[in-house]
Amino acid sequence: EENGHQIKRLKRDADEEDAEDQNKKSPKRKIVLLMAYSGKGYHGMQRNVGSSQFKTIEDDLVSALVQSGCIPENHGEDMKKMSFQRCARTDKGVSAAGQIVSLKVRLIDDILEKINNHLPSHIRILGLKRVTGGFNSKNKCDARTYSYMLPTFAFAHKDHDVQEEVYRLDKETLEKVNKLLACYKGTHNFHNFTSQKGPRDPSAKRYIMEMYCGEPFVRGNIEFAVIKVKGQSFMMHQIRKMIGLVIAIVKGYTTESIIERSWGEEKVDVPKAPGLGLVLERVHFEKYNRRFGNDGLHEPLEWTEEEEKIAVFKEQYIYPTIVNTEREEKSMVNWLNTLSIHDFNSSAVGIQANNKNSKNSSDLEGSDGCDDDSD
């Protein structure tokens, strides 16, 4: 037994020496990492240095980068030292299949394998590419694509007594859902789909490129469907409120005209769908790719070779978590029961009072995504 410990100790010492030698040889380079993770049990993506009670995805990532020898320990404490930038902030419990972070690291041998060895299995680094020295994953991102996986009984009309496991979405209802989701396309004033933004705030205007719901499928006896949305950037809770309002219309709590009304200056009570089911699918760098993708020095930031690994990760970690959590915690069922409380025709004063009351609980969850005003 003692011999065994001694051998382990010698091996560890040798590994540390190898790492030191490697560090001397390896200059720091700007790279991007393609990440996938299941967000359950985490307080979002972004690290809160000095707040260890709320564990984030970046806490585990930074720890793995230090342990693998990619960055010195003091860079983990001050992330600016490695020029760290995540492409999108994700909320408490939100997962990602194609998150991108940019940072400076030592390009050690077998770098992906070494980082992944120090990560839990529900967080994986699936790819790495060299980028220009001034690259910033948030600023250079042109668009983000999110998906939202939900049980289809969410679209059952409120006057129908629904057995969750028996419900199946019919063609006409799916067509209605897609007609409503398509209304969001283009540039609109989304001040009613977030908190702390007034109707005249220019940053409340957002551009949505596409939004649609795919064909339903069955998992664990419950039928699910996936809504995809691609936009330049999203504000806090914006995607969940866009989906929440469509559900309220399809269920018969309010009329289709509320969408148009919500873009006006009037304050509209927009319900926010649960965070479970929201996944950052991919981030887009079209402008960067056009400028640097074929310059002979850098690769375009596309991940076709990693698509299979992304699909496997989703099947293994993201979808089962959404399905099992929905079954156990019934987050959609519980949220649907609150829709009748919303007053879709109420005055601005009434809504402000409601917002004040609900603010304390809801805003702890953070943002759907992506830019400066979304934390």
Active site residues: 91
Q: Of 150, 354, 144, whose CA–CA distance to 267 is shortest? A: 354
What the block records as the tokens of 360 is: 């304390």
Q: Where are the alpha helices (DSSP H) in the chain?
A: 2-25, 57-67, 73-77, 111-117, 171-182, 238-250, 257-262, 286-292, 307-313, 319-329, 331-336, 348-362
Dihedral angle computed from the Cα positions of residues 318, 320, 326 and 329, in that order, rounded to the nearest 10 degrees: -100
Q: Crossing angle, helix 238-250 and helix 171-182, to 10 degrees? A: 140
Structure tokens at 27: 């200059």
Type of residue found at 231: G
Q: CA-to-CA distance for 180 and 174, rounded, in angstroms?
A: 10
Distances (CA, A) of 81 to 28, 45, 107: 11, 19, 16
Q: Is 152 helix (H, G, I), strand (E, B) or coil?
A: helix
Phi, psi of 146 (to 5 degrees): -115, 155
Token digits of residue 354: 């409601």
DSSP per-residue codes, 232-259: S---TTHHHHHHHHHHHHHTTSS-THHH
Is 146 known to sit in a ligand binding site?
A: yes
The full DSSP string for 51-108 is -TTS--HHHHHHHHHHHTTSS-HHHHHSGGGGT-EES----TT-EEEEEEEEEEEE--
Q: How many residues does the chain have?
A: 375
Please state the residue numbers annotated as binding site for substrate.
146
